[in-house]
Chains A and B, each alone.
Chain A
Amino acid sequence: MATSTPSKPVTTLDEATVRFCGDSGDGMQLAGTQFTNTSALLGNDVATFPDFPAEIRAPRGTKAGVSGFQIHFSSNEIFTPGDTVDALVAMNPAALATNLSDLRAGGILLVNKDAFEKKGLEQAGYASDPTEGDGLEKYKLHSVEMTKLTRLAVEGFGLSVKEADRCRNFFAMGLVFWLYDRSLDPTLRFIEQKFGKRPEVAKANTSALKAGYHYGETVEAINTQYHVGPAKLPSGTYRNIMGNTALAWGLLAAAQRSGKRLFLGAYPITPASDVLHELSKHKNFDVLTFQAEDEIAAVTATIGAAFAGEMAVTASSGPGIALKGEALGLAVMTELPMVVINVQRGGPSTGLPTKTEQSDLFQAMYGRNGECPMPILAASSPGDCFDVAQEAWRIAVRFMTPVMILSDGYLANGSEPWRIPDLSELPSVDVEHPGPSLNGDEFMPYDRDERLARPWAIPGTPGLMHRLGGLEKQDGTGNVCYDPDNHEQMCKTRAQKVANVADDVPLQELDGPDSGDLLVLSWGGTYGACATAVHQTQGAGKKVSHCHLRYLNPFPKNFEKILRSFDKVMIPELNLGQLSVMVRSEFLIDTIGLTKVQGKPFSVAEIVDKINEVLG
């Protein structure tokens, strides 16, 4: 169905932010995803922020059970899901109570009026119906009887009341689609695909969707439609991609481009499980996914797979990475290439499983016994997860080392338009295994090349039989060795090898002038908020530049020079200042921290405010 001729005035906007929120059973994630895909197809740049409770079904109607999905869409390039929302859809009182503070003054508020009955209001802590009294006049409030209208729309398809009510999110979608002048076609195609096998459900959802759309067209109270045109992104073919999908696809690409089968050892954990799910779908890419009995088995099986000569990967989140700690030491000691993924979540302990945080940087750097360094890379956006996965594997192979990737819940579940790369653009990784040795010469498994990497000899190769293990190795032969000087030399060699990675990665880039009053230094998933904040303050004439790190260990070679070129260094982090500690201890340079551990990403305003405060 094409967008009908507008019967109401259309206002064109540069950008807008919409949030759907409701009970976790209300289908808000689906609504958000559909709105995102539709906007992306329309050519908008989009950034999303899904936010859901840790419980699968918290008690219905409670604040604990509220699930939300925020979409920022724009005709310009954008990097964040938006600080405040322009339109809020609240499916019940609990959703209104927990989300209203993010709606900007003058914003559009669409509520499902039918849910504002006694019990729902009580659960949300409202003494009286907020949609009736004063208090919401700051907003453009539209109380819509969504339950009733949806039931009417699906009448005659033979659905139970419960089933009919499940179509309500489609009604809400239809209405918001009309409001922002979006086509229904992608969602209609989705309904066909998803519910094709149950025609009555497909018809009902279609009908609810269209009813919502027509409601917008006809109801007089809603008097303006908004239009956000396509963004001028670099030319190419695009799709929308989520961080975990991009990570999985990056691994697939890396395996193919290095001529390896891909082995993933994993144990389910939020928010990393989708990497396991996605790769499990693609066995025809020569992918072996092993759902282990625990994270220790996942990582040790990964070590076995690396020994076997395949591209070996293990993926988890903080608690699982903690369990993997001892085995990661074995991986460092055996100097086998593998990729270790930590999709970070709020900690410590079980912490905030569904919320984002960057508090595992220390764990990645220092969280193992002994002198046990490994390269660490962090992804900066959902799409960047694709590139980081390939880069991690490249480094792992070239340096014969485990490489840690830090992603986070925000990147994992967030999505953005992704320019589909040409296969020829993808890096290829040359993997070498020494061939058979038939002359009886002793094989030296810990012989080293100019990077200090040792040979990756794999079982099945005649003449190269050797034994690996966690006991200290003699340099060269790899035999067990307790010699004090050898141990010190080996510790230093392993450290130097990781340090050598800096020679093999690009120099650090800077967004803004090479020197100035303030450097905003960030890493990982905070990229979007920091970049946007720096652009804003640069626009206001501040001498501020932005440095966003992908390589956290080792730091890029020119990093210190960059740090010393600014009067002040400010580090926004979703932890209590871990990168700050690293920078201070390595360079003796003072830093100004902006830290946050609320399970939520930074807003742009928080960073702008801090920049202004620091610059006085």
Chain B
Amino acid sequence: MSIDSPLPVLKPADFASDQDVRWCPGCGDYSILAQMKKMLPTLGTPQENIVFISGIGCSSRFPYYMNTYGMHSIHGRAPAVATGLKTCRPDLQVWVITGDGDGLSIGGNHLMHAIRRNMDLNIVLFNNRIYGLTKGQYSPTSPLGKKTKSSPMGAIDNPLHPLSIAIGCEATFVARSIDTNIKHLGNILKRGAEHQGTAFIEVYQNCNVFNDGAWEYAKSRDTKAETTLELEHGKPLIFGKDRQKGIRLNGLDPEVVELGKGITEDDLLFHDERSPEPSLAYLLSRMRNEDGFPEPIGVFRSVDKPRYDEQTNDQIDQATKERGKGDLETLFRSGETWKVA
């Protein structure tokens, strides 16, 4: 587009591709797609500068439904494809869409390395605690005892927790949201997009066909106030229907306490997403419903660190500054040469 024409104001519909969306009716993926389409126009980034890269899985069909550049790559490798793309083209906004199987099983290695390099990618992991596309085997996030086609007597693999992994790799931005919590999800996606460096976002996603209700405790009107806790930077960790409960540190461990009865907000743990040490974020990532804790949603961690894509390009600039632009003639004639008449 010419430089002087005003930037068109994009609408969510502009981000819809012409392809029919083929997820099962009622699948949580629809909601995530809708929030993404709603959020992107608010960034002001032209469509052509946005790329969605995915692996394989139901979730990984996502790029086909976005009217941006995209690649539905191979199982587990999206972070690596995105790394090559972003390294060459730091000007692009690159999203990685992955699932719990795609990202944590076959692609665990790439996920870990993209995060530790702090590649400027926005990684969204759709966690439905099941292999959807292959019709319902247990996944690396399925709970112990989970009975599926491939685990008729119950899963005995200890589950992974996506955020604990990301924080273990010292991700610079870590957040969690829920497919049906649409306002929250939109905000989190936007914060991830705005973060420079790897933004890792876990979304609790319902697979209503093979693992329906896996996140019911965190989604249901009746229970969510008690089972989730919305993180706010600089604020104490408070939750509960009447916001009467909080999280306090007991030694190195969190505990649930009732406010009142001599316990005030000041006694509670305060959230600090900018803490340079990832310990607090890690502690939060270990709070699990099954252990009697509310599960935090929101931004766990958001810090600034050097990024691989930026630094690797800086090295080119530095080398060029120090040695001049590479000249083939000079290179070929470096070292010992001789003439044959």
Contact = CB atoms under 8 A, between A and B. Distances in A.
Nearest to B326: A285
Interface string B37-53: 00000000011110111
A186 interface: yes
Interface in B81-108: 81-89, 91-92
Given A293-B110, A327-B77, A420-B333, A301 B87 contact: yes
Nearest to A239: B337
B252 interface: no
A329 B74 CA distance: 9
Interface residues of B, number: 63
A253 B328 contact: yes
Contact of B329 (A284, A285, A423): A423
B320 interface: yes
Interface string B5-38: 0000000000001010000000000000000000
A501 interface: no
B70 A467 contact: yes
Nearest to A37: B336
Given A287-B316, A297-B110, A460-B48, A326 B74 contact: yes
A466 B80 CA distance: 20
A592 interface: no
Contacts of B316: 283-284, 286-288
A303 interface: yes
B67 interface: yes
A610 interface: no
Interface string A452-463: 000000011111
B153 interface: no
Interface string A263-301: 101000000000000000011111110101110111011
Given A290-B312, A304-B53, A459 B84 contact: no
Interface in B299-313: 312-313
Contacts of B331: 249, 252, 282, 285
A468 B64 CA distance: 8
Contacts of A312: 84
A300 B49 contact: no
A284 B63 CA distance: 35
A297 B77 contact: yes
A297 B83 contact: yes
A189 B335 CA distance: 11
A614 to B, nearest CB: 37
Nearest to A40: B338
A305 interface: yes
B73 A330 contact: yes
Given A303-B84, A308-B84, A467-B69, A41 B338 contact: yes
Interface residues of A, number: 77
A307 interface: yes
Contact of A309 (B67, B86, B89, B325): B89
B83 A290 contact: yes
Contacts of B318: 283
B71 interface: yes
A230 B52 CA distance: 60
A290 B340 contact: no
Best-surrounded residue of B47, B85, B109 (most CB of chain A within 10 A) = B85
Contacts of B72: 467-471
A310 B88 contact: yes
A237 B87 contact: no
B149 interface: no
A583 interface: no
B49 A252 contact: no
B324 A459 contact: no
B340 A304 contact: no
A481 B75 CA distance: 19
Nearest to A281: B319
Contacts of A305: 84-85, 87-88
A305 B83 CA distance: 8
B341 interface: yes
A249 B332 contact: yes
Given A330-B73, A468-B70, A304 B63 contact: no
Given A293-B110, A297-B109, A468-B72, A459 B51 contact: yes
B68 interface: yes
A40 B340 CA distance: 11
Interface string A467-496: 111110000000110000000000000000
Contacts of A294: 109
A43 B48 CA distance: 56
B261 interface: no
A290 B87 contact: yes
Interface string A217-230: 00000000000001
B1 A43 contact: no
A469 B64 CA distance: 9
B113 to A, nearest CB: 4
Nearest to B77: A300
A235 interface: yes
Contacts of B315: 283
B85 A308 contact: yes
Interface of B: 1, 17, 19, 46-49, 51-53, 56, 63-64, 66-74, 77, 80-89, 91-92, 109-110, 112-113, 312-313, 315-316, 318-320, 322-326, 328-329, 331-333, 335-341
Interface of A: 37, 40-43, 186, 189, 230, 232-240, 249, 252-253, 256, 261, 263, 265, 282-288, 290, 292-294, 296-298, 300-310, 312, 326-327, 329-330, 334, 419-421, 423, 426, 436, 438, 459-471, 479-480
Given A462-B46, A467-B66, 16 more contacts: A186-B336, A238-B337, A239-B335, A252-B326, A286-B326, A288-B313, A290-B84, A292-B80, A292-B113, A293-B110, A296-B80, A297-B113, A301-B87, A459-B85, A466-B70, A470-B72
22 contacts: A40-B336, A233-B340, A235-B341, A236-B340, A239-B333, A249-B331, A263-B84, A284-B319, A286-B316, A292-B113, A297-B109, A301-B80, A304-B87, A307-B51, A307-B81, A307-B85, A327-B77, A423-B328, A460-B92, A467-B64, A467-B66, A470-B73
Q: Which 3 A-B pairs have the closest CB atoms?
A: A304-B84, A285-B326, A301-B84
